[in-house]
Amino acid sequence: MIPNLNIVPFVSVDHMMKLVLKIGVERFLSDLAVYIEEDFRRWPVFDKTPRVASHSADGVIELMPTSDNRNYGFKYVNGHPKNTREGRQTVTAFGVLSDVATGYPVLMTEMTILTALRTAATSAVAAKPLAPRGASCMAIIGNGAQSEFQALAFKALLGIRELRLYDIDPDATAKCARNLAGLGFAITPCRSAQEAVEGAHIITTVTADKQYATILTDNMVGAGVHINAVGGDCPGKTELHRDILLRSDIFVEYPPQTRIEGEIQQLPADHPVTELWQVLTGAAVGRRDARQITLFDSVGFATEDFSALRYVRDQIAGTGLYQELDMLADPDEPRDLFGMLLRAALPTGAAA
C-alpha cells in the first residue's frame, strides 16, 4: 500500500465516512461481515483474553488486543453513558493493526464509526444461524447511535424489512426513523418496549445506561424469537430479566469475557453457553426448531475489531482516503538513533 514502512496510513473520521459512503453502507456491512465470519471460523489461531478494562463511576476505558500470529490488532475504546448529556459520544475508539514479523504498525484508524459498523455486522452474522427462518420484523429497543447500523445490517444480511422502534426518549426514536426513512423499511414508532416486541421475530436491545436494567421482562418474550442483546457490555450493566436467560439457548463470543460483562453475569459461572465460532464452523447447532428462544449475548470481542481493521486496510488501497503519518523513527543506521536526533538540529544541507 505504502512503500515506506516507516510511514503509517491513518484513516481519519472524515476519511472513514467517505470510505463508507464510497462503498455504500449496506455493502460495507455485508463485506465486513464476511471478514468477521472468516475470523470466527479460524478462532483457535487467535490470542484471546478478556479486554483490559479500567472502570470508574462515570464509565470504562478499555484495550482490546488480539493476534493471529501474522497481524496484531488492538482497539482503545471507552464507554461513558453520561457523555450524551454534555453533547459527547457514549463510545469513542481508535485502533491499530501491526505486522507481527516486524512489530511495525501498518494501519491506524478511527474506530468510533467503525465499531458501530462491526458491532452491527457481528449481530447479523450471529443472527443468520440463530434467528427464526423467514424473519422479517425486528424490534429495536434503544434508538441511539447504534440503532440505524443494526437495522441496516439486518436488512443487508437477513432481509429485515419491518422495524418497530422504542426508546425512553421519543426524540431518539424520531431521529432513528428519520435517518432510516427511504431505505426500504416499514417503520413503526412504539410507545413502550412491550408494544415494540409485538409481532417481532428478532428483538434487539441496545441501550446505554450503565446499570442493572430490565429492558425486557419475561412475559414480553414469546416462543421462537431471537434476542440480539447488545447493550449489556460491562460489569453491572444488563438489559434482560434473569428468567429470560433461563428459558433461552445462549450464544456468546468469548465466555471468560461475557461472564464478566454480558447478560450471563446474572447466572452461575457454570451455566451452559455455546460459543459463536462453534456454530459458524458446524461444531455446534444454532437454531434447532421454530419454538426455541435464542439469545446472542453480545459484548464485543477483539477479533471483531481485528476483522474490521483488516477490512479497512484492504479497502483503502488506491483510494487516497488516508493520511501518511510519520510515526516511526527511521535513522540511516538503525543503531544510531541519537545521531538522528543530533542531525535534526543541523541547518538544511549542512554536513554532520
**CA 329, CA 104: separation in Å to the nearest integer?**
11
Instruction: Give residue-wise pLDDT tens across range 12-52.
Output: 999 999 999 999 999 999 999 999 999 999 999 999 999 99
Contact 41, 33 (CB under 8 A): no
Q: Looking at residues 327-338, what average pLDDT do you find?
A: 88
Instruction: Give residue-wise pLDDT tens across range 174-212.
Output: 999 999 999 999 999 999 999 999 999 999 999 866 566
Residue 2, pLDDT score: 45
**CA 144, CA 204: separation in Å to the nearest integer?**
12
Instruction: Give residue-wise pLDDT tens across range 120-129.
Output: 999 999 999 9
- One-letter amino acid at 135 equals A
Q: What is 7-113+304-329's CATH topology?
A: ornithine cyclodeaminase, domain 1 (3.30.1780)
120-301 matches 7-113+304-329 in CATH topology:
no
Strands, E assignment, the chain: 7-11, 52-55, 60-67, 71-79, 93-99, 105-110, 137-141, 162-166, 186-189, 202-205, 212-216, 226-229, 238-240, 249-252, 274-275, 294-297, 323-326
Place of cell 483457535: 44
C-alpha grid cell, residue 140: 429495536
Closest CA to 307 of 9, 15, 132, 68: 68
Instruction: Give residue-wise pLDDT tens across range 219-259.
Output: 999 999 999 999 866 677 889 999 999 999 999 999 999 99
Q: Looking at residues 322-342, what average pLDDT do you find?
A: 90
Out of 3.40.50.970, 3.40.605.10, 3.90.1150.10, 3.40.50.720, the CATH code matching 120-301 is 3.40.50.720
**CA 126, CA 277: separation in Å to the nearest integer?**
9
Q: What are residue 203's DSSP bridge partners? A: 139, 227
Q: Which residues are catalytic?
A: 233
**CA 81, CA 61: separation in Å to the nearest integer?**
12
Contact 124, 158 (CB under 8 A): yes
3-state SS of the chain: helix, strand, coil percent to 5?
35, 25, 40
Domain ranges within the chain, ordered by starting residue? 7-113+304-329, 120-301
Residue 1, pLDDT score: 44
